[in-house]
């Protein structure tokens, strides 16, 4: 993406005032999206974004500048600005922006979504709209979204790193609203992979749309969710977001070092049920959080964070690893060249166990079966969480019976981990996600097998 001599001169300019570390991050992104709502195409957008971020570290001060001007004068000036910011000292981070946007046309790839006409992408949305409405007469509204992005990056630093990555991701989602005597209910399905337009050889948008419609229609006959402490069985794939938020963030080294994690100081301790092995793995092929190198140029890794209940490691970026005198774990990630990297998860999941999922349900006399979780809130310092249940069912005498209206799961991440008493052999990854932290969003994958927590607080509306 840049001439090697220009890379060297840029790093030299960043280091010329006596910096401890300098890094150049260059990014070129091409994206397109289309959205349909209530039968109408509401969005049809394509764009490109290209630029560089330069980080300079002097002692405990980080200087950071970014620019969309990838010419030699633009890069050298940005390097000098970042170096000056770092030399001003005082600790912390100083950031400066410079330059103007420069357009760039990405090179062709094997199955490039950019080579697919807009009409074909729109046709996917229209098919989904038709299939969802045809699934049931109660479906009153359909929304669908298509997206693809190709992201090329180059990372070079003063430690000798010089690597690049080139990823294409494609996604599709559809939601359906069903109308009945109990009001409006919504169902949603989504897919996303590190792949090109061939994604739709693997996933049928008609089936996704029908699945969304069926979920919405089933909820029309739902009863109010119960309230109180109940056994909760979480379906394979669907519970990943809970453990990503309630436990994963607490295992990020920046939060641990700040004392903002409930897991701080507990390495080597039993922090979960012996049935639980929690892994963060950026090497999972095709998954939403997959990459070859993280945004600091470290190879993606498979990191076992909790093994058979014992806390074995945290996730690290370059600076936190340097402070702790250890190797990074490939978890340095940033939203774009305009952002500094920080410790972030990739594909985080609980490993599969030995239990039969049907036996887990049959062994639950009374409780709630959660087929799909929604968003939630977590306090990483305490581990306390609240998550929405967007598809759930009552378990009575070991059988899944009536659908439930939306309610909440309320609990504590470490306590929930410690209480897990059954882990299924049906591990699967869930929907593609975007993880937010300190104003940045990055793509992540999340997964679980079917598992049971014998006592969680369910916040429903039933008396």
CB-neighbour burial class of residue 119 (10 A; exposed 0-12, middle 13-18, buried 19+): exposed
Q: Helix %, strand %, coil % for the chain, to 5? A: 25, 45, 35
Q: Would the CA dihedral through 421, 427, 433, 435 be positive or negative?
A: positive
Mean of the pLDDT values across residues 328-346?
98
Angstrom CA distances, 122 to 134, 378, 388, stand at 18, 37, 32
pLDDT greater than 70 at residue 323: yes
pLDDT value for 18 = 86
**Residues 45, 61 within the same domain:** yes
Q: What is the DSSP string of 130-185?
A: HHHHHH-TTEEEEEEEEEEEEEEEEEEETTS-EEEEEEEEEEEEEEEEEEETTEEE
CA atoms within 13 A on the CB side of 327: 8
**Residues 302, 407 within the same domain:** yes
The encoded tokens of residue 202 equal 């693997």
pLDDT value for 17 = 83
pLDDT greater than 60 at residue 172: yes
Mean pLDDT of the chain: 92
pLDDT greater than 60 at residue 346: yes
pLDDT in tens, 425-448: 999 999 999 999 999 999 999 999
**Residues 177, 234 within the same domain:** no
In angstroms, the CA 36 to CA 310 distance is 47
Q: How many domains does the chain have?
A: 2
pLDDT value for 391 = 93
How far, rounded to the nearest angstrom, does the alpha carbon of residue 214 sit from its chain's CA centroid? 26
**Residues 168, 296 within the same domain:** no
Is residue 251 within 8 A of residue 261, CB to CB? The reply is yes
**Residues 243, 123 within the same domain:** no
Mean of the pLDDT values across residues 197-219?
96
Domain boundary (173, 201, 221) is at 221
**Residues 136, 186 within the same domain:** yes
In angstroms, the CA 184 to CA 180 distance is 6
In angstroms, the CA 287 to CA 405 distance is 31
In angstroms, the CA 371 to CA 350 distance is 16
Straight-line distance from the first to the last Cα atom of the chain, in angstroms, rounded to the nearest whole number: 62
Domain boundary (221, 253, 272) is at 221
- Neighbouring CB atoms inside 10 A of 402's CB total 12
- Neighbouring CB atoms inside 10 A of 200's CB total 18
Q: Pairing relation of β-strands 342-343 and 61-67?
A: unpaired
**Residues 211, 261 within the same domain:** no
Give the highest mean pLDDT range of 158-162, 175-179, 383-387.
175-179
Kindly tell me the number of DSSP H helices and DSSP E strands found in the chain: 10, 23
**Residues 442, 348 within the same domain:** yes
pLDDT greater than 50 at residue 424: yes
pLDDT value for 108 = 41
In angstroms, the CA 10 to CA 8 distance is 5
pLDDT greater than 70 at residue 169: yes
In angstroms, the CA 395 to CA 401 distance is 6
**Residues 280, 349 within the same domain:** yes
Q: What is the CATH number of the domain that holds 32?
A: 3.30.2290.10
Is residue 432 within 8 A of residue 446, CB to CB? The reply is no
pLDDT in tens, 30-71: 999 999 999 999 999 999 999 999 999 999 899 999 999 999
Whole-number CA gyration radius for the chain: 24
In angstroms, the CA 132 to CA 149 distance is 26
pLDDT in tens, 351-372: 999 999 999 999 999 999 999 9
Residue 165 φ/ψ, nearest 5 degrees:
-145, 150
Lowest mean pLDDT among 105-109, 176-180, 289-293: 105-109
CA atoms within 13 A on the CB side of 15: 14
pLDDT band at 110 (very low <50, low <70, confident <90, very high): low
Domain boundary (221, 243, 266) is at 221
pLDDT band at 99 (very low <50, low <70, confident <90, very high): very low
**Residues 437, 347 within the same domain:** yes
How far, rounded to the nearest angstrom, does the alpha carbon of residue 221 sit from its chain's CA centroid? 32
pLDDT in tens, 241-278: 888 988 999 999 999 999 999 999 999 999 999 999 99
**Residues 214, 241 within the same domain:** no
Range of the domain at 432: 228-459
pLDDT greater than 50 at residue 332: yes
pLDDT value for 375 = 80
How far, rounded to the nearest angstrom, does the alpha carbon of residue 382 sit from its chain's CA centroid? 22
* Full strand arrangement of the beta sheet holding 183-193: 92-98, 61-67, 40-58, 21-37, 139-157, 162-180, 183-193
**Residues 331, 439 within the same domain:** yes
């Amino acid at each position: 993406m840049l001439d090697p001599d220009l890379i060297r001169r840029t790093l030299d300019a960043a280091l010329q005032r006596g910096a401890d570390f300098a890094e150049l991050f260059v990014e070129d992104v091409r994206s397109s999206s289309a959205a349909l709502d209530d039968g109408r195409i509401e969005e049809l957008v394509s764009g490109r974004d290209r630029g560089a971020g330069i980080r300079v570290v002097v002692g405990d001060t980080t200087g950071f500048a970014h620019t969309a001007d990838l010419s030699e004068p633009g890069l050298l000036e940005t390097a000098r600005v970042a170096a000056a910011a770092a030399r001003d000292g005082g600790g912390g981070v100083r950031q400066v922006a410079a330059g103007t946007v420069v357009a760039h046309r990405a090179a062709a790839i094997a199955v490039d979504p950019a080579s697919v006409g807009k009409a074909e992408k729109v046709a996917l949305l229209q098919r989904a709209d038709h299939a969802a409405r045809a699934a049931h007469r109660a479906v009153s509204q359909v929304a669908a979204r298509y997206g693809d992005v190709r992201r090329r990056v180059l990372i070079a630093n003063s430690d000798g790193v010089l690597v690049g990555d080139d990823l294409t991701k494609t996604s599709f989602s559809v939601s359906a609203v069903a109308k009945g005597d109990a009001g409006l209910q919504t169902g949603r399905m989504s897919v996303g992979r590190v792949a090109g337009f061939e994604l739709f050889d693997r996933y049928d948008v008609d089936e996704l749309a029908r699945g969304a419609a069926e979920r919405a229609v089933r909820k029309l006959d739902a009863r109010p969710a119960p309230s109180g402490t109940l056994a909760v069985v979480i379906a394979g794939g669907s519970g990943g977001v809970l453990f990503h938020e309630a436990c994963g963030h607490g295992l990020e080294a920046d939060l641990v070092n700040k004392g903002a994690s409930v897991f701080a100081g507990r390495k080597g301790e039993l922090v979960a049920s012996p049935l639980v092995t929690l892994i963060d793995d950026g090497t999972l092929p095709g998954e939403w959080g997959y990459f070859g190198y993280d945004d600091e140029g470290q190879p993606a890794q498979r990191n076992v964070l909790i093994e058979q209940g014992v806390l074995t490691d945290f996730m690290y970026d370059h600076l936190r690893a340097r402070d702790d005198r250890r190797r990074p774990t490939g978890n340095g990630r940033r939203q774009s060249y305009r952002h500094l990297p920080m410790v972030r998860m990739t594909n985080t999941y609980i490993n599969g166990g030995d239990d039969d999922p049907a036996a887990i349900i049959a062994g639950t006399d009374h409780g709630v079966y959660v087929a799909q979780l929604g968003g939630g809130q977590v306090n990483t310092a305490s581990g306390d969480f609240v998550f929405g249940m967007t598809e759930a069912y009552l378990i009575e005498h070991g059988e899944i019976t009536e659908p439930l209206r939306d309610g909440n799961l309320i609990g504590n991440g470490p306590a929930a981990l410690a209480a897990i008493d059954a882990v299924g052999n049906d591990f699967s990854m869930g929907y593609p996600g975007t993880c937010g932290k300190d104003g940045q969003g990055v793509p992540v994958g999340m997964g679980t097998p079917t598992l049971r927590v014998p006592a969680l607080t369910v916040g429903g509306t039933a008396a």
